[in-house]
Amino acid sequence: MRKNRWELVARPARLSDYNWWSDHVPTRKFYMFMVEIGRRLQPFMTDPGPVKMIELCEQCADGFITEGELAEVSCGCQPSRLGTGVEHKANTVYRSVPDRYRMKADTMYNAVEAFARVAAVAAG
């Protein structure tokens, strides 16, 4: 039996075992997930705005700022330069932070595409 309504299986072990699009994902868990995505993509971020968003999402997860405050300060953290390829996708991961529902989709798709591009380059 599932413990949480946002878990799709009894013992989640993979990304697909969670329903990250659910309204039932706790705020802390949602933003810590966004932090982890950002930390893994940070080496490819060429703009300071998205790097700052990693810290701000962590502050929101820890309760130091609210989701509303995060949305307000995120406008000043939008990337001024997007880059190309992996850098573009990494720089746009937090583009939709003011809208949590868009963020769920945008962040996931941009992150997956960035990771895929890194893997493609590594594979040659």
pLDDT at residue number 98? 67
Structural domain includes residue 44: yes
Residue 8 lies in a domain: no
Asked, for residue 30, whether it belongs to a domain, the answer is: yes
- Residue 79: give the domain boundaries: 15-123
Residue 75 pLDDT = 85
pLDDT bin (cut points 50, 70, 90) of residue 21 is low
pLDDT computed for residue 123 by the predictor: 84
Residue 4 lies in a domain: no
Q: Is residue 74 part of a domain?
A: yes
Report d(CA 69, CA 108) in Å as an integer: 22
Q: 54 with 45: CB under 8 angstroms?
A: no
pLDDT grade for 53, boundaries at 50, 70 and 90: very high
Chain centre to alpha carbon of residue 22: 15
Q: Do the domain assignments include residue 10? A: no
Q: Is 6 contained in some domain?
A: no
pLDDT at 15 over 80: no
Residue 38 placed within a domain: yes
Q: Which amino acid is at 15?
A: L
Report the number of distinct structural domains present in the chain. 1
Q: Categorize the per-residue pLDDT at 65 as very low, low, confident or very high, splitting at 50, 70 and 90.
A: very high
